[in-house]
């Protein structure tokens, strides 16, 4: 799937949302306009994306996740090289690994439907080896839940203990 994004006119957004409301709602336009007004652009994009998914399981705080390398900040990509991270077992098939710390919102309660998550990204530290080293805000829909042992470094460690 492409990472491409398109921007939709509000009239198109209304036409996508309207069928969600039952006909017994007397003023659907009022409700739809209210919903659109309550959501900022990022959350509206998240809402529309979720409408298109057949099966979506919300992420939880502490979940291990994988995501494409290009979802990180320029700071991260400048500091860590993909080839080096692959050699250390932190990258597999272009995916980085991490653990969800929280959503990126300023609220104190965790919102699994927030459009971005704070992820502790695993990288290599010369002194301490592989560890959660950087906190990155990653688009929620770019994150795929995984097992810690999906990360080559931890799988190798686990296999060595057997």
Would you kindly state where each structural domain of the chain is located, as residue ranges? 10-52, 64-161
What pLDDT sits at residue 2? 56
Q: Are 141 and 46 in contact (CB under 8 A)?
A: yes
Contacts of 134 (CB under 8 A, 6+ apart): 72, 76, 79, 80, 120, 121, 123
Phi and psi, residue 94, nearest 5° = 80, 5
What pLDDT sits at residue 16? 81
Q: Are 135 and 119 in contact (CB under 8 A)?
A: yes
Q: Read off the tokens for 53.
A: 């998914």
Phi and psi, residue 44, nearest 5° = -65, -40
Low-confidence stretches of the chain (pLDDT beneath 50) = 1
Q: Are 26 and 121 in contact (CB under 8 A)?
A: no
Longest CA pairwise span in the chain (Å): 64
pTM of the model: 0.76
State the helix-helix crossing angle for 28-38 and 10-17, rounded to 10 degrees.
120
What pLDDT sits at residue 67? 93
* Beta bridge pairs of residue 135: 120
What pLDDT sits at residue 10? 81
What pLDDT sits at residue 1? 47
Q: Are 96 and 136 in contact (CB under 8 A)?
A: no
What pLDDT sits at residue 3? 63
């Amino acid at each position: 799937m492409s990472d491409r994004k398109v921007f939709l006119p509000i009239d198109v957004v209304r036409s996508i949302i309207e069928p969600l409301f039952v006909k017994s709602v007397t003023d659907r336009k009022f409700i739809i306009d209210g919903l659109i007004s309550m959501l900022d652009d990022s959350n509206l994009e998240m809402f529309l994306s979720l409408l298109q998914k057949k099966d979506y399981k919300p992420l939880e705080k502490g979940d291990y996740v994988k995501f494409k390398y290009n979802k990180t900040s320029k700071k991260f990509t400048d500091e860590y090289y993909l080839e080096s991270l692959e050699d250390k077992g932190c990258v597999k098939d272009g995916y980085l690994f991490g653990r969800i710390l929280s959503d990126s919102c300023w609220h104190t309660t965790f919102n699994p439907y927030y459009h971005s998550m704070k992820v502790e990204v695993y990288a290599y530290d010369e002194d301490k080896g592989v560890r959660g080293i950087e906190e990155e805000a990653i688009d929620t829909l770019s994150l795929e839940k995984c097992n810690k042992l999906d990360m080559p470094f931890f799988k190798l460690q686990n296999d060595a203990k057997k």
